Structure 1
Amino acid sequence: MRLKKYLFLLCIPMSGWAQQVPSTMLLQDGIHHWNLLHPNRSYMRYAETDYENIADNLIAYQNLDGGWLKNIDWLGVLNSDSVKATLNDFEKQSTLDNRNTFSQIEYLADTYVLTNKLKYRLAVEKGLDYLLDTQKENGGWRGWDVDAVTFNDDVTTGAIELCRNILQGDKSFLWLDKKYLDKIKIAYIRGINLILKTQYIQNGVKTVWAQQYDNVTLEPVKARSFELPGLTAWESSNIVLLLMGIENPSNEIIQAVHDAVNWFKKSAINGIRIQQIALNKDKIINQEYPYDNVVVEDVNAKPIWSRYYELSDNKPFMVKRSGEKVWKLADVNAERRTGYDWYGYWPQEVLDNYPKWLKKINRNTTVH
């Protein structure tokens, strides 16, 4: 999912007048994971128009360090203390995993500019303090599963994009004082430099990015057992979209986009599509995925990409839960076939926007 900023969602209440409310789009990943863990749900939920109640939920779940625990139904009408009581100490920790923390910061900032209520501003500042304090010296942020620079779940990408948006005039953050803006600028520069350093060089040619990198060597590393080092189409797409959204990019950033686009074009897979096959009730492992994913040959299928490619030769691969590398989706455990995105169309958004981006930079810069 691209971390595209939608400040407001337009709704028309019964009275007929238009009201702007913050979008919950960036909060949906956490809600999805909550649903996976809680298949039987019967509680009430707030509507998107109940944005102050949703924002109050976010404050209720904000940790003392300023960050947020992950995988909560942020729209659920639930007692936050009761929810936390079901979690162990590790699960209560703040994290950016599953597109967390930077999403709550954005939502609360949107709510603050609509309400001008101090509690939302203070929660945003606490969240920014956490985000800035947890950035690594190398410019990245760690994930949940491994202490490494993490692009999976847009951990580092989302934090950098938030910084970029703020510095480029995001209207929900115009109230930030110079103290914060100076810190955010430093964090942003470090983050962009990290992205440029970690673009993988294969046989002398720059390609795209891996999911995780060693904190010191900046070499690709594994996270969970089925997340092995490899070039990744999904996470790299969001990195490129982040770079393409930079105003007045440097020549180095421009070249990074060109190189990644070339790799996306070369690594596209033609002639197949992924089909969801409905399962009998006794075969369903998780009610959120009541189907199996099957590779189907189709000469008319649009280009698709593998989640992972070999670092050495771009061969697509998949991984069993045990950590065993395989090259066919059918060889992946049934639970992982549906519970993880092994194929997708993520780079297509990059390729669709590339011509427009080229025109923009050609008007504003000279590429050598």
Structure 2
Amino acid sequence: MKQGVLALLFASLLSVGIAGGPAAAAGTPDLWYHPKPLSADWQAFHAQSARDLALLEQQLNSELAGAKLSAPLPAVKAKNFGLDAISNSAQLQAVLSYQTVLGGWSKRTDMQQVRKPGQLAGSEPAYIPTFDNGATSSQMRWLAAYYPKATAADQAKIRSALTLAVQFVLRAQYPNGGFAQSYPLRGSYHDAVTLNDNVMTDLLNLLWDIANAPEYQWLNADLRSKAQTGFAKGVAWLVAAQVSVNGQGTVWTAQHHPLSGEPVAARKFEQISLVSSESAAVLQLLLDKAPEQPGVLPALCSGVAWLAQHQIRDKVWQRDDAGSKLVEKKGAQIWARFYSLPQQQPVFFDRDGKVYHDVNQLSLERQQGYGWYQSNAKNVLKAWKKKPELAAQCASPVTL
């Protein structure tokens, strides 16, 4: 293959930073910089990531050579995947054709038609497998849901593909239990442990289901056991990473440092701040699937209390061509997407990276293009009310 955009991409992703991880892009923080060498398990993870990235390149180069192409064919972009389930064998073959040799899938890619030899597995420049925007977890759930309806031949393909996919998810999990946005590692904020858009909770819910739900019971028992272990490691990471302010537990941020667990920023309009929506998803996960795991109950007590204290009552957020505003609505409950640290007050960011305290100060494009207020946390408060036996064990009463 010629030294084109893709080759340059792989070269940059394979480059090694001071700590042995991918080098950060210009102007972005290097999450892997550390004055001391990484521990053996983290060094092994980085080495594994570099090998896996090279394997992706080898797969594509082999396809290009076989198809006599000098450059890869582009993938078709789609907001999601062009479909939201597998309902027939043709769709199954198409989705399977986009599974990478590592076992994961890309995002924002139309997967309705079978991928051609030499065609990229994703529509974005960094087409490596990702967990962002529901990628990989969605395809894995589709495969499991279609399995009972598939022919014997297609079931064999699903068993092979889903086994590889589960192994991929477990392979991508950090030694401390967290998950980056993508794997192999890409550098910059992509390597942070990512709660944004529910990446972490989607994967942990998936691992729990693989270990416990009936639709995955046909998978290898040892693999399901490893999924349960991966789930428990992820929950332990969440408990340890819960942000504390002045000794009081709060919730989580959208991204956390892969090594220290400290909050880190992502894009300019996603600065360090507590997040309501993703934290609500974390608390729902802990409440539903891990209430007995060590450390979970205190995390639930403080997290639910924080959501209750920071809700905005009797208002809804409305957007139109002129901008956005909060409107009175009796009985409504909403939360700002972001809360400042350490003040814990609603905060908003624009593409210029500046901090604002009123959503109407943002550019029109950002007001219309981002969900600055959320309401899903109310479901956690409802679910908590149904668990009085847990609330009774909290060190301090949780007032809803």
TM-score range, shorter chain: 0.7 to 0.9
The Cα RMSD (Å) is: 2.7
Cross-structure match for 1:134: 172
Structure 2 contact 98–121 (Cα < 8 Å) conserved:
no
Structure 2 contact 108–123 (Cα < 8 Å) conserved:
no
Q: 1:111 Cα shift?
A: 1.4
Q: Percent identity?
A: 25
Q: 1:198 Cα shift?
A: 0.7
Secondary structure at the residue paired with 2:128? coil
Structure 1 contact 294–330 (Cα < 8 Å) conserved:
yes
Matches for 1:136-285 after TM superposition, within 5 Å? 136-144=174-182, 145-167=189-211, 169-246=212-289, 249-250=292-293, 252-277=295-320, 279=321
Q: Distance in 2 between matches of 1:133 and 1:48?
A: 25
One-letter code aligned to 2:374: G
Cross-structure match for 2:78: 34
Structure 1 contact 243–257 (Cα < 8 Å) conserved:
yes
Question: Which has the higher mean CA deviation after the structures are superposed, 158-167 or 267-276?
Answer: 267-276
Query: 1:179/1:315 Cα in 2 relative to 1: closer, same or farther (>3 Å)?
Result: same
Q: 1:89 Cα shift?
A: 7.4
Q: 1:337 Cα shift?
A: 1.7
Q: 51, 72, 78: which one pairs with 2:109? A: 72
Q: Distance in 2 between matches of 1:352 and 1:211?
A: 23
Matches for 1:8-87 after TM superposition, within 5 Å? 34-35=78-79, 50-74=87-111, 76=112, 78-81=113-116, 84-85=119-120
Deviations 1:44-63 (A, max 9, x none): x7796834433332212111
Q: 1:82 Cα shift?
A: 8.9
Secondary structure at the residue paired with 1:220? coil
One-letter code aligned to 1:65: L
Q: 1:327 Cα shift?
A: 1.3
Q: 1:347 Cα shift?
A: 0.5
Query: 1:83/1:318 Cα in 2 relative to 1: closer, same or farther (>3 Å)?
Result: farther
Q: 354, 379, 389: which one pairs with 1:349? A: 379
Q: Distance in 2 between matches of 1:345 and 1:214?
A: 27
Task: Give the gaps of 5 or more residues in structure 1.
Answer: 1-32, 39-44, 280-291
Structure 2 contact 251–275 (Cα < 8 Å) conserved:
yes
Q: 1:248 Cα shift?
A: 5.7
Structure 1 contact 274–293 (Cα < 8 Å) conserved:
no
Q: Stretches of 4+ moved more than 4 A in 1?
A: 45-49, 82-89, 365-368
Q: 1:83 Cα shift?
A: 10
Q: 1:192 Cα shift?
A: 0.8
Query: 1:257/1:83 Cα in 2 relative to 1: closer, same or farther (>3 Å)?
Result: farther
Secondary structure at the residue paired with 2:344? coil
Secondary structure at the residue paired with 1:298? strand
One-letter code aligned to 1:343: Y
Structure 2 contact 323–367 (Cα < 8 Å) conserved:
yes
Q: 1:72 Cα shift?
A: 2.1
Structure 1 contact 273–301 (Cα < 8 Å) conserved:
no
1:109 and 2:152 aligned: no
Task: Give the gaps of 5 or more residues in structure 2.
Answer: 1-76, 183-188, 396-400
Q: Distance in 2 between matches of 1:217 and 1:46?
A: 38
Deviations 1:194-242 (A, max 9, x none): 0000111111111111111111111000011211111100110111111
Structure 2 length as normaliser, TM-score?
0.71
Q: 1:86 Cα shift?
A: 9.7
Q: Distance in 2 between matches of 1:47 and 1:327?
A: 37
Cross-structure match for 1:295: 325
